[in-house]
Amino acid sequence: MGEEIRDQRHPVAILSNPFNVFATCDIGEALDLLRKRGYEVEVYPDPKAPAKRLIIEKVHSGIDGLITTLRDQIDAEVFEAGKGTLKVVAQIAVGFDNINRADANRYKIPFTNTADVLTEATAEFAFFMLGALARKLWASEHLTRKNQWGFWHPYLPFLGDEVTGKTIAIIGTGRIGLAMIKKCAGFDMNILCYDPAYQNHEYVKAIRETMDLRHARGIQYVSFEEALSQADFVSVHVPLLHEGESDTPTFHLFNQRTLRMMKPTAFLVNTSRGPVIDENALAKALKENWIAGAALDVYEKEPLPADSPLRDPAIEDRCRLFPHFASAGKITRLSTDPDKGMAGRCVQGLIDVLEKNYGGDVKKMPYVVNKEAFES
Ligand code: NAD
């Protein structure tokens, strides 16, 4: 294929047949790693996502690789356009609910994601959201900025809730859920874990031992109902899974029925995917004080529409809204190192497939998600 002339991590190959790649978004310097290897890289220049028909047009033109963000709908239409030519879809995100896995498998197109490198960034942001909500950081800064801080008073105009020592429910104990547990253990929280598909008892035991040493509170797996009914904070770390994609789908996992299971003093934090929460139900729950507050980073429709019920001024004091920002650290998003940055990992996933690393065995490639499509 080509002579390798540089470092181990990103050996530069002089390719006789350069690969053609279309990126639906600029992902920074990591794209230069591809150009240095002789790839032809076209980048959609607008910061907004391209229309699906443009993606289809590019794929139809015969590109080898497609770099996508969570804003792009990748399904049978796209794979059909790339039949015989498209070899890989590389997504810059850990979540891949925008990619139709069954369609990718049918067309036998591997797709990659950028798990792990955003785990700590996302978990710490979830924790900060929780803190901002509980201690009313937004309302108290507004008070100061609007020059409405007239006096120091023991309880006026409002008080917050302490986080230390409280009970948190972690819904989904995968990579980010476990990282969140670590942050919460540092604040001596009592931790209730819920995950129907993956339970890491070894990790929970290790955290419990550290807590015991510090005479801190406990940690255990419980049922969804127990987690919701006992927690002061509920933090959501599940993938978006629709009916038919899982035995325990997460679409509208939080709805009128389940929100009513939470304590009226409890707070909900969501950094997973918007459709995991029924937003109309949440707006009602906040307005009618079924729960004390919510902090959201993700929405059913992004960007958050101007007429969203979550923007209702009546719930402004207890509803914190962020712009899908949890992984938005500079190194996390843009480092060209696949062990540090989403951009680096995205590009490495693409290179692995196109340059047939790991002996060309897709099942051995660490960033390929849909390995099941390549079982013989
Ligand atoms: P992961 O696959 O490691 O963990 C997800 C966990 O959720 C798994 O253990 C799974 O068993 C569990 N789960 C599945 N269905 C469940 C259910 N019904 N109830 C409870 N648990 C369930 O994924 P991860 O790396 O921890 O990421 C989780 C999600 O966070 C991603 O899929 C993505 O959508 C989202 N995310 C958002 C941001 C952001 O910027 N806001 C950043 C990173 C990830």
pLDDT computed for residue 7 by the predictor: 39
Mean pLDDT value of segment 127-139: 97
- Mark whether 141 is an active-site residue: no
* Model pLDDT for residues 156-177, shown as the tens digit of each residue: 999 999 999 999 999 999 999 9
The residue nearest atom 33 of ligand 1, judged by CA position, is 95
CB contact at 8 A, 104 and 370: yes
List Cβ<8 Å contacts ≥24 apart for 80-87.
Answer: 80/107, 81/56, 81/57, 82/107, 82/109, 83/107, 85/59, 86/59, 87/353, 87/354
Model confidence pLDDT, tens digit, residues 328-373: 999 999 999 999 999 999 999 999 999 999 999 999 999 999 999 9
Q: Would you call 302 a catalytic residue per the annotation?
A: yes
Burial class (CB in 10 A: 0-12, 13-18, 19+), 46: exposed
Please give the average per-residue pLDDT across 6-35, as a whole number: 78
- What is the pLDDT at residue 14? 55
Share of the chain residues as helix, strand and coil, in percent rounded to the nearest 5: 35, 15, 50
Mean pLDDT of all residues in the chain?
Answer: 95
Q: Looking at ligand 1, which residue's alpha carbon is closest to its atom 39?
A: 326
Distance CA 4, CA 163 (A): 53
Give the per-residue pLDDT at 12: 55
Ligand 1 mutation target, pool 112, 238, 240, 296, most atoms within 8 A of CB: 238
**pLDDT of 6:** 37
Residue whose CA lies nearest to ligand 1 atom number 36: 272
Nearest residue (by CA) to ligand 1, atom 37, is 272
Residue 189 CA: distances (Å) to CA of 135, 202, 332: 16, 19, 27
Catalytic hit among 10, 208, 217, 324: 324
Which atom in ligand 1 lies closest to the alpha carbon of residue 122? 42
Does residue 17 register a pLDDT over 70? no
Average pLDDT over residues 104-116: 98
Q: Reply yes or no on whether 273 is catalytic.
A: yes
Nearest CA to ligand 1 atom 27: 176
pLDDT at 215: 75
- Using DSSP, state whether 4 is helix, strand or coil: strand
Q: Over the stretch 279-323, which tens digit does the pLDDT of each residue have?
A: 999 999 999 999 999 999 999 999 999 999 999 999 999 999 999
> Residue 217's pLDDT band (boundaries 50, 70, 90)?
confident
| 254-263 residue pLDDT tens | 999 999 999 9
Ligand 1 test: best mutation among 69, 182, 237, most atoms within 8 Å of CB? 237
Between the CA of 250 and the centroid of ligand 1 the distance, in Å, is: 10
Identify the active-site residue in 273, 318, 320, 333: 273
Residues with CB under 6 A from ligand 1: 94-95, 115, 118-119, 122, 171-177, 194-198, 237-241, 246, 248, 250, 253, 271-273, 297-298, 324, 326-327
Question: If pLDDT is split at 50, 70 and 90, which confidence band does 211 have?
Answer: confident
